[in-house]
């Protein structure tokens, strides 16, 4: 009798501790604890997504809600597992950047079934109605800016144009290419550029506006799959096959920084290439250094801080029972998804310091020769 009387208060204390611990916001979302906002990013292998992780961690310090960030490491199966693990932690909002837009539909549907609101982050989850919001950059503007840079730095006429694209499983790859094509096609038609490495693009060179199927044909032929190694191999194959008149001064549409650096390295090592202009995007540190060193021509700076801020305020609005602010819609094949879109900025050697260092995005000491 005496023993059990003593045991009760002790048990109560233990229980109170457990309740307190789960009620306290826990930003790291340690295993077993409840989490308010689950964040799933595609891979740690690309600096772009490590940037996003860092910016999320910085921004989340100031919210009262708890969160947990998981990486899918390039696998849709792992992505689904991550989402299931977060559902088990009782998340109310899922912020997810899909590895593969179509494949992620299953994960989004599982979340929807559990009553979770799904925010598609940077890349759109496609062909499902289980997406509540989309937060992204203006991806068509990204492609336009890359192409416009090539046009603005064109030399003479009939200049060889090498085209590269992102992964066909990523809806953004289509938007980037759509934007780029809208600027490049008139310049192919007027003879400024000659397509050097894509028979599919040559076959469509008179078509100003491509259908998704037409875009798909070109993208499948010149895809890098967002993989710098694949980009490198493709560039090598293209230069090996290229005739003399497809060398000299050339321009290259490279879809992002990771692929731009490897494509640039291949073109730089070919003695028959006299000069090249190459695009990029993401303002990755390594590419910022390439731009300072004159090895990559430009990048499109997508200020991840804004994207993170927008998606967190969207999540907080949802958690607070309010309707998040959106600026437009994006059709994902099944649904017009309310969207919050953010602008982008062109960066080259001339404004690299002002745009990326003086703005506080990076520190000067991270680079040499600024």
> Contact positions toward ligand BGC, by CB under 6 A?
46, 48, 122-123, 166, 170, 172, 226, 256, 281-282
Q: Which is nearer to ligand BGC, 229 or 275 (CB)?
A: 229
> 370: buried, middle or exposed (CB in 10 Å: 19+, 13-18, 0-12)?
middle
What is the closest distance, in whole angstroms, from the C-beta atom of residue 42 to ligand BGC in the complex?
6
What is the closest distance, in whole angstroms, from the C-beta atom of residue 144 to ligand BGC in the complex?
15
b/e for 148-183, b at 16 or more Cβ within 10 A?
bbbeebbeeeebbbbbbbbbbbbbbbbbbbbbbbbb
Q: Which is nearer to ligand BGC, 36 or 282 (CB)?
A: 282
The enclosing H or E element of 238 equals: helix 228-241
Q: Which is nearer to ligand BGC, 68 or 257 (CB)?
A: 257
What is the closest distance, in whole angstroms, from the C-beta atom of residue 132 to ligand BGC in the complex?
20
Torsion of CA 250, 229, 258, 279, to 10 degrees: 10
What is the closest distance, in whole angstroms, from the C-beta atom of residue 226 to ligand BGC in the complex?
4
Dist. CA 69–CA 321, nearest whole Å: 23
Which residues contact residue 201 at a Cβ distance below 8 angstroms, ignoring those fewer than 6 apart? 163, 195, 218, 221, 222
Q: Which is nearer to ligand BGC, 146 or 281 (CB)?
A: 281
What is the closest distance, in whole angstroms, from the C-beta atom of residue 46 to ligand BGC in the complex?
5
Q: Which is nearer to ligand BGC, 79 or 282 (CB)?
A: 282
Dist. CA 264–CA 270, nearest whole Å: 10
What is the closest distance, in whole angstroms, from the C-beta atom of residue 365 to ligand BGC in the complex?
25
Cβ-closest position to ligand BGC: 256
Q: Which is nearer to ligand BGC, 46 or 68 (CB)?
A: 46
- Cα 63 versus chain centre, distance: 24
Dist. CA 370–CA 108, nearest whole Å: 44
**If DSSP codes are grouped into helix, strand and coil, which group holds residue 204?**
coil
């Amino acid at each position: 009798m005496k023993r059990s009387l003593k045991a009760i208060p002790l048990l109560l204390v233990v229980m109170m501790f457990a309740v307190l611990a789960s009620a306290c916001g826990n930003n790291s979302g340690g295993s077993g604890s409840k989490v308010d906002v689950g964040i799933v990013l595609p891979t740690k292998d690309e600096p772009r997504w490590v940037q996003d992780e860092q910016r999320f961690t910085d921004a989340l310090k100031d919210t009262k809600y708890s969160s947990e960030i998981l990486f899918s490491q390039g696998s849709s199966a792992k992505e689904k597992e991550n989402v299931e693990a977060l559902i088990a932690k009782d998340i109310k909002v899922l912020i997810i950047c899909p590895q593969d837009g179509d494949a992620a539909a299953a994960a989004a549907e599982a979340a929807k079934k559990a009553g979770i609101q799904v925010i598609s982050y940077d890349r759109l989850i496609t062909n499902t109605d289980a997406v509540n919001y989309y937060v992204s950059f203006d991806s068509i503007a990204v492609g336009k800016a890359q192409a416009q840079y090539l046009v603005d730095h064109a030399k003479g006429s009939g200049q060889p144009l090498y085209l590269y694209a992102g992964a066909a499983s990523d809806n953004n790859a289509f938007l980037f290419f759509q934007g780029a094509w809208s600027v490049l096609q008139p310049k192919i038609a007027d003879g400024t550029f000659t397509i050097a490495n894509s028979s599919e693009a040559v076959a469509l060179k008179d078509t100003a506006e491509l259908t998704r199927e037409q875009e798909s044909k070109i993208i499948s032929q010149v895809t890098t799959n967002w993989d710098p190694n694949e980009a490198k191999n493709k560039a090598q194959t293209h230069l090996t096959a290229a005739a003399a008149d497809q060398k000299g001064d050339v321009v290259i549409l490279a879809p992002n920084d990771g692929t731009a650096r490897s494509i640039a390295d291949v073109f730089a090592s070919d003695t028959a290439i006299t000069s090249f202009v190459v695009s990029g995007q993401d303002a990755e540190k390594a590419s910022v250094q390439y731009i300072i060193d004159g090895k990559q021509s430009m990048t499109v700076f997508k200020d991840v801080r804004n994207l993170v801020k927008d998606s967190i305020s969207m999540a907080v609005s949802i958690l607070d029972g309010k309707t998040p602010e959106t600026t437009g819609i994006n059709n994902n094949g099944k649904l017009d998804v309310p969207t919050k879109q953010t602008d982008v900025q062109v960066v080259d050697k001339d404004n690299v310091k002002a745009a990326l260092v003086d703005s506080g995005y990076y520190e000067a000491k991270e680079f040499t020769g600024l």
